[in-house]
Amino acid sequence: MKLTWLGHAAFRIETGKSTILVDPFLSGNPGFEGLDRKDATKDVSHIVLTHGHADHVGDTVAIAKETGATVVANADLADWLATRHGVEKVDPTNTGGTVSHEGFSVTYVNALHSSATVTEDGVAHGLGNANGCVFHFSDAPTLLHMGDTDIFSDMALINELHKPEIGIVPIGDRFTMGGAVAALACRRYFDFRTIIPCHYGSFPIIDQTADKFVEALESQADRAKVQTAGTAQRF
């Protein structure tokens, strides 16, 4: 599996059988500057969304129409994309549910966050619950993308049920856990082999570096699990 960070909470996952974009916020994403959109969207077969905020739905509609990718999302968000934006291939799910595709499955788990959009008429529309996503692959380690979230004790159940080896963890504060709390979540509730912090450095009002997170991990062994340099890694 090849995992590429596209800035903010956006990732590209290449499994050999499927190519997945998670939360493809590309346009307007400072972390995506300097990267090539054609490379990021090449051969995409699936788009997986954690929730309905604009910095996570991002370029979903355009990419889905360009590539014919199937969009996996909670049922409310999937219906919104289909009926309001004409996305033809959606696969709706919800918290606790699992959907399977070629070479992988994704289970939607809890996240403590909101999920809505405001249309041009000023009306706010709820787009279901925010979620984390657990990816099980036929040929790669299990991966948890936490989505946007605070810490919560049932993270222990997510670990018990799925035993993710790779954790994508939001650390930027203000809209998600800050570094110290995110480090506590990793230390207390998970046994990740690799930790990839995200949702930082994107906007001036969130933390600009992963320093607080790495420092709060405390042990050198845990700090060694963190991958922040570069954009692409293989597992």
Residues 88, 76, 143, 195, CA torsion sign: positive
Ordered domains of the chain (ranges, CATH): 2-228 (3.60.15.10)
Divide the 235 residues of the chain into consecutive groups of 10 and give the mean pLDDT of each group: 96 96 97 94 98 98 98 98 98 98 98 96 96 97 98 98 98 98 98 97 96 96 89 79
For residue 152, what pLDDT is reported?
98
The pTM of the full predicted model, rounded to 2 decimals, is 0.97
